Structure 1
């Protein structure tokens, strides 16, 4: 059962986070709560008939983390269950049925029931995001199968099924309200007032095109509604972590609706501590962001949705910590490294140079939706500007070996037109896409102490005056219904990507010395063409169960390395075979989905730092295969269980490369080694219990979320120091809602057992070490919310 107002809003009556007064159809029709005025109820069956669309050296976490987390989870349940179940209100209930919410998604560019889409998709609604405290993209890894995420040098990396980010373009495409975000850092700017997040796993080359080999993450913000409402939210957690957020929704008249959200966040105590007395702690900062969204019914059939948004952020967020002491070779080349202090405890550094980052971001989007009877025409436009200024200590130790300064400015315009509809047994979407992205970037290293083979007081500049990318694409995707139960799927996308890069690199030995050109100013042009098909079939075993199988291809653009001279890397290509089984069982109380997949990769793009340059290289070939099981269970109206398991085998099949930390080994054959960020096993389990009114007339929701990862490698050489051993993360929350739903109190704890785990890793032969970033430590906090 669902409650909906206009097609712009949808709520799950059975959710443990739903409004406490929403108990039944009758309860809704009689309510005088202003939050529910004008809300309509839609009852839909679960089928296609629904018309609605071991810790070593203090560095790596022990394998015992799983048992410890499970013991804590069971002990907490044992302690809290008797108190909750002893309540008279609870004693009178039990055995009442409930359904898992039927989510409507737009992942395939047309509204569909999540269970009907022939693809591996996870969707998380706004209420669940809020209850779990998911406030940034990296938190999604504890909800979505086969997903890994983490930040390094201020940039968030997302990988799905072992495929993801490099320093060029992302391998997982980010979209916000239908607008493509060309930089992975833009995914950090979308997590306020979100209606839902949709994560498509696997190559999405047909409908999404460039750089979606790993998958797609769609952030959909809450649209303006027909009711005057809003909320104010404030939170405080350990590490002096505070947030204040406000939303107001105003229906100006029958045709115009406005929604404004503003957010202010600050963490004053850094996660990463400096061991040098008086040294700068890092991984802290502050940000302020806002979004104004206006929706206008131009006519009964034409809607215009326009948004403007902006963010400013600052703080020492662009950092890393060293993971091993410098190698003898690096010390022999740069003797000052012998006296460096290299703390190896998690989240520790000895940096002595300034670490600071400032970001300014702004943009606007426009979506025109024209209903044409059995068809719908959309025009989606987006424009954004981003400016980053970073000062970094790129050695992270108490010697001024690599102070760095980075500046980047970029502006992007995108335009998409798509037409979707049905004609007889055919359902189709066709469209066209255009993008123009222009970027300027400079990176300046100050080698005060010198760096082999450069003398002291050397400066090295990498400068890209113009990095202009233009992308053009046309696409189509068709579903032909052979019968009420069987359908075939076909899609095709043709893309052309043009790049023009004007760059130069130079050295300077002292401020007054003339420049020594290492790469003269030059412009390099390249064009990439790709054709990415999708073919498949789907069969409804029953009204509540369907099978699907698809064949598809993906394409990730190549380009030129920023810190080299006219050095090109090739596009990455993938061929995917996938089969799935989707089920609604127990009268809708259980959803159970299974996906099996097999990928063949050619020219997989990887990062490697060699000498003074960071390069993107191509692995010859890789193979990924795995199985995912994802489910949600609502045994009654109190309990909700979400769980997923991913079994993954992601390995190189043909690749030779030189480890810059061990050059004496020569070119190593890494065929058979695991891809980075691709654990063999990952498990996410969440349990929530919502009581009847129990405290001051309001219900309490208790939830716990456990995430487990087996060993993860972060470099293709699979050395023991390249790995993070198995670990588990336990998050918990206790939520009280007032009887009328006006107030909410949420107490929460993240990483409750205080596990230390690596989320990203790189390496540099300059100081002969791996460098890493760590997951967030344990935080405990309180959040207050008032609705109006």
Structure 2
């Protein structure tokens, strides 16, 4: 009953702008005229369009809104975007959209920064400062974005240099001794050259996760310093060059997890020292006794050339990225010296895209080609001071992938045919080819004895080919309303499991059927978009920890059915109400699997169970009020955000221990703007009710336990910003 009431309240809140339109104008005679909702121009389909004109489910959020809501990571973005889930585990951020995307290894939701593809999950939250907007496309984007866009795409678009000398300084301080200092300087060198520099320093010296051992190390804290330099050059009136360079270094005990249940009797029987372990089961508590730390360095460079010639726009997007990680982990997370781990990883990625856009009569055409070369090294070193059945005390185990090379090639075309002034046909096709090679070796050592190969040094090679189409139609019912329907396919690439021996997992595929209705009502004061979708989801990639091996395997198939609603309403210049609602049924169609935590049950038929990270109901309501000018100058903006998630499962077995129960989050901000808009003071409270909620989960049969990471606790703080 309580669950049904929550759903009813969420649905009522989402539909309020629509239901109130018949009576709203009587009230506005007293409150003043409505104001038009600002529409963002986006490049989600590699051309400039407003969100309302795009025949796809897309949410765009401006940088100003992100800053005012205090969103600096994808974990915060998920409460603004329908059907999106995000969370970190062992320092890696994973995003799912409509239940699709979560994975160790290649992300299933593609991340792009200024048009450059980010191949590693951990790159999704690096150096995302001075943002102009974020664009989130929901549903498979196999035609325009290709590989690993099964769940959708998140585009981070950073601020371009402007033709004004300007900048700002921003500083903040919040509970848990968290502080940020950021500065931006924009300089127009001359009429054709502009430059922009952003520097950012962040730290959190008190960990979100407390260690219950006396003198034990608290975790989920750290420091990061980043910077970005952008240079825009108008070479001629028709030729533009945009250059960028980004760097980041971060450190701290961020690569962690906590146990959410005590070791099983079977695990204790195999490893008796677990019987005396301290296992704190309260949220955000750990009893780790081995060192935890991470050191990350990231560097990126990009070049975008835009050339307008003969009625066409030719664009070249070149990117280079280098990432290096070094970690120390306590992989038992408890006060036994059972499983200290060290990991070293580094990668170099070069990407190149060229696309040409133009019109052939009534047909808009975009054609392009894409190339990527990614080289990665990964080594995981396990120590077993106490032994871990069946390995004796003092043994070690190493997994090493020396040279994992991925070469990706693609060609694509996207067409929009204007049949009439109101009717359009949409079509697109992408052909992709991936070639992968991997040199690996895994080995055991027992004291001073020579290593024993569990996977002798070898070279593995594989190729994947795919064709991902999109077709559809759009009809403008009026100048302010349009309907669309699309059929599309997406693919997430397969590969080699780095912690096994020449073990291949297949690509996963999504076939999507989607329809939507987009509306501007009340003379632009109300935006109301609704959509529905059906996915046929095959060869799902799932991650399981079996013994000491983390493996990606393919499940049989799943079905995802859902509906979404987004609305923004400005009844007058003071009030803005935003809302979204997502209803989702994401279930396995045919899947039998063994739960290594309960092997005595044998293989279980989990057909009909819910996919991980796919709540049946998720919703957000945001309320903003702008005051009249106040006595001492300026005005005040008050923001309130309420987010709801129904029960979320994190493992396919859908037991009570695999779930996070339904929860509500409340965030609030009060911002003072000076009369000349040069100064801002923001008081904020995130997770005001201090709700404890799990964002990621995995499991290990070594301890018979699930391990989890938690959402951020309540934080209150102040932020100051000075523009010049």
**Per the shorter chain, which TM-score range?**
over 0.9
Structure 1 residues 481, 92: CA separation in 2 closer, same or farther (over 3 Å shift)?
closer
Please show how residues 236-385 of structure 1 align to structure 2 within 5 Å: 236-385=173-322
1:497 corresponds in structure 2 to 434
Query: Matched residues in 2 for 1:375 and 1:130: separation?
Result: 36
How many residue pairs match? The answer is 707
Q: Deviations over 1:223-278 (max 9, x none)?
A: 00000000000000000000000000000000000000000000000000000000
Q: Deviations over 1:618-670 (max 9, x none)?
A: 01100101000001111111111110000000000011110000001111110
Q: Deviations over 1:479-537 (max 9, x none)?
A: 00000000100100000000001101000112x22101110001110000000000000
Query: Matched residues in 2 for 1:470 and 1:295: separation?
Result: 30
1:10 corresponds in structure 2 to none
Q: What is the SS of the residue equivalent to 1:679? A: coil
1:101 aligned to which of 38, 41, 55? 38
Q: CA deviation at 1:184?
A: 1.4
2:150 aligned to which of 205, 208, 213? 213
1:672 corresponds in structure 2 to 608
Please show how residues 75-474 of structure 1 align to structure 2 within 5 Å: 94-474=31-411
1:78 corresponds in structure 2 to none
2:444 aligned to which of 485, 507, 514? 507
Please show how residues 606-685 of structure 1 align to structure 2 within 5 Å: 606-685=542-621
2:528 aligned to which of 589, 592, 611? 592
Q: Deviations over 1:537-566 (max 9, x none)?
A: 000111100000000111111011111001
- TM norm structure 1: 0.88
Q: CA deviation at 1:130?
A: 1.0
* 1:698 and 2:626 are equivalent in the alignment: no
Query: Matched residues in 2 for 1:635 and 1:375: separation?
Result: 41
- TM norm structure 2: 0.96
After TM superposition, where is structure 1 displaced by more than 3 Å over at least 4 residues in a row? 62-67
Query: Matched residues in 2 for 1:414 and 1:147: separation?
Result: 27
Q: What is the SS of the residue equivalent to 1:587? A: helix
Structure 1 residues 66, 342: CA separation in 2 closer, same or farther (over 3 Å shift)?
farther
Q: CA deviation at 1:400?
A: 1.1
Query: Matched residues in 1 for 2:610 and 2:211: separation?
Result: 33
Structure 1 residues 111, 382: CA separation in 2 closer, same or farther (over 3 Å shift)?
same
* 8 Å CA contact retained: 1:374, 1:423: no
* 8 Å CA contact retained: 1:376, 1:421: yes
Q: Deviations over 1:298-326 (max 9, x none)?
A: 00000000000100000000000000000
Structure 1 residues 339, 762: CA separation in 2 closer, same or farther (over 3 Å shift)?
same
Q: Deviations over 1:101-136 (max 9, x none)?
A: 121110001111110100000000111111101111
Give ranges in structure 1 of 5+ residues lacking alignment.
1-53, 55-61, 74-90
* 8 Å CA contact retained: 1:176, 1:190: no
Q: CA deviation at 1:190?
A: 4.0
2:417 corresponds in structure 1 to 480
Structure 1 residues 452, 149: CA separation in 2 closer, same or farther (over 3 Å shift)?
same
Query: Matched residues in 2 for 1:93 and 1:545: separation?
Result: 29
Query: Matched residues in 2 for 1:362 and 1:498: separation?
Result: 25
Q: Deviations over 1:387-441 (max 9, x none)?
A: 0000000010000111100000100000000011122211111000000000000
* 1:769 and 2:705 are equivalent in the alignment: yes
Q: CA deviation at 1:65?
A: 12
Query: Matched residues in 2 for 1:695 and 1:571: separation?
Result: 62
* 8 Å CA contact retained: 1:65, 1:728: no
Query: Matched residues in 2 for 1:585 and 1:190: separation?
Result: 38
* 1:717 and 2:653 are equivalent in the alignment: yes
* 8 Å CA contact retained: 2:259, 2:333: yes
Query: Matched residues in 1 for 2:31 and 2:190: separation?
Result: 45
Query: Matched residues in 1 for 2:544 and 2:445: separation?
Result: 25
Query: Matched residues in 2 for 1:751 and 1:716: separation?
Result: 28
Query: Matched residues in 2 for 1:144 and 1:373: separation?
Result: 39
Query: Matched residues in 2 for 1:184 and 1:232: separation?
Result: 30
1:8 corresponds in structure 2 to none
Q: CA deviation at 1:92?
A: 13
Query: Matched residues in 2 for 1:787 and 1:64: separation?
Result: 47
* 8 Å CA contact retained: 2:127, 2:227: no
Give ranges in structure 2 of 5+ residues lacking alignment.
14-27
Structure 1 residues 782, 212: CA separation in 2 closer, same or farther (over 3 Å shift)?
same
Query: Matched residues in 2 for 1:697 and 1:607: separation?
Result: 56
